[in-house]
């Protein structure tokens, strides 16, 4: 989702864009290079021609129920891809200027009302451990003196899928309701802002280290649901969806929506990035109005 929008912004600014893909494809806009993680293979030319690497690969954390096997896929899809890129960067004569990697605000665990900054204590739940292993793999690249930026991505709001789609789907059917007690914070970010933040990290040579990729004004699940319903012109009259019902449906994965975190964007703003969508109202009006 981020890669597609980031590609649009890059092409608009005159960049040439290449993708690493498991299969070769023909595309007039981007060049596809093949890679195979199991075989430690990246097609020749992919890294040699790159000025910047943006690493967004990783199995979706909410795509399937968290079995033991699925958890391993979620971890390895992030750590092993990063390790392969690190290996190739060490082996190949290249001109790469910076390595920009995604991480996630899930690294802080579930903070409640406590605001999480980049140097805050880290969580101990499954997603927090995933992010910590992910970033540890990226740190191996940072040790080579290559400028490395890690952007801890929040809940991305997009009009074509993802979390927002799941929120508005029941609202459109007059069945919308907050989840659990509704008080859990959502560290949301508009798809354009998170994509532009990656672009900003590419172009601003002084940026290095970790930055939170969440909008300046987090809202609770209940607030987000009410704003979405208001923008769509739909009523909310059902009681909150009980936590136990979500736990029965999704198992351990239910914690993604039942627990939340309040994340600060102060560091990114102090580094000069200006969010286009600072409030959930502005973001949802842009994404949902007349749709």
CATH number at residue 127: 3.40.50.720
Percent of the chain with pLDDT over 90: 78
Domain range for 82 is 2-288
Quote the number of domains for the chain: 1
> Which CA distances in Å does 95 have to 49, 53, 269, 285?
8, 11, 29, 42
Mind listing the pLDDT tens digit for each residue in 61-97?
A: 988 889 999 999 999 999 999 999 999 999 999 999 9
Q: What is the mean pLDDT of the chain?
A: 93
> Which CA distances in Å does 234 have to 172, 174, 237, 280?
7, 7, 10, 17
Residue with more model confidence, 64 or 208: 208
Q: pTM here?
A: 0.94
- Checking if the pLDDT of 3 tops 60, the result is yes
- Checking if the pLDDT of 205 tops 90, the result is yes
Q: Which residue is listed with tokens 């993680």?
A: 37
- Checking if the pLDDT of 286 tops 70, the result is yes
pLDDT score of 290:
62
The DSSP string of 7-31 is HHHHHHTT---EEEESS----SSSE
248 confidence band (pLDDT: 50, 70, 90): confident
d(CA 289, CA 291): 5
**Distance, C-alpha 250 to centroid of its chain:** 21
Mind listing the pLDDT tens digit for each residue in 31-70?
A: 999 999 999 999 999 999 999 999 998 999 988 889 999 9
Can you read off the two tokens belonging to residue 290?
């007349």
Give yes or no for a contact between 276 and 190, defined as CB atoms under 8 angstroms apart.
Answer: yes
């Amino acid at each position: 989702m981020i890669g597609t929008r980031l590609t649009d912004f890059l092409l608009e600014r005159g960049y040439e864009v290449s993708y690493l893909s498991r299969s070769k494809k023909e595309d007039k806009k981007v060049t596809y290079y093949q890679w195979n993680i199991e075989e430690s293979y990246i097609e020749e030319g992919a890294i040699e021609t790159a000025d910047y690497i943006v690493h967004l690969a990783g199995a979706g954390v909410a795509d399937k129920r968290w079995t033991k096997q699925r958890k391993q896929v979620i971890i390895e899809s992030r750590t092993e891809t990063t390790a392969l890129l690190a290996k190739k960067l060490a082996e190949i004569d290249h001109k790469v200027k910076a390595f920009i990697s995604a991480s996630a605000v899930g690294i802080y665990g579930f903070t409640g009302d406590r605001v999480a900054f980049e140097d805050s204590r880290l969580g101990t739940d499954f997603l927090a451990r995933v992010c910590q292993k992910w970033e540890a793999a990226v740190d191996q690249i940072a040790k080579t003196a290559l400028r490395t930026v890690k952007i801890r991505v929040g809940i991305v709001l997009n009009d074509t899928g993802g979390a927002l789609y799941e929120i508005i789907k029941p609202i459109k059917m007059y069945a919308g309701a907050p989840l659990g007690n509704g008080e859990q914070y959502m560290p949301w970010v508009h798809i354009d802002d998170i994509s532009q933040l990656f672009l900003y990290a590419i172009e601003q040579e002084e940026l290095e280290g970790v930055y939170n990729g969440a909008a300046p004004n987090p809202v609770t699940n209940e607030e987000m649901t009410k704003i979405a319903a208001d923008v769509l012109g739909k009523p909310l009259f059902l009681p909150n969806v009980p936590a136990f019902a979500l736990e029965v449906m999704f198992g351990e994965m239910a914690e993604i929506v039942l627990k939340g975190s309040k994340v600060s964007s102060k560091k990114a703003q102090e580094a000069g990035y200006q969010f286009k969508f600072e409030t959930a109202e502005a973001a949802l009006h842009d994404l949902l109005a007349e749709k």
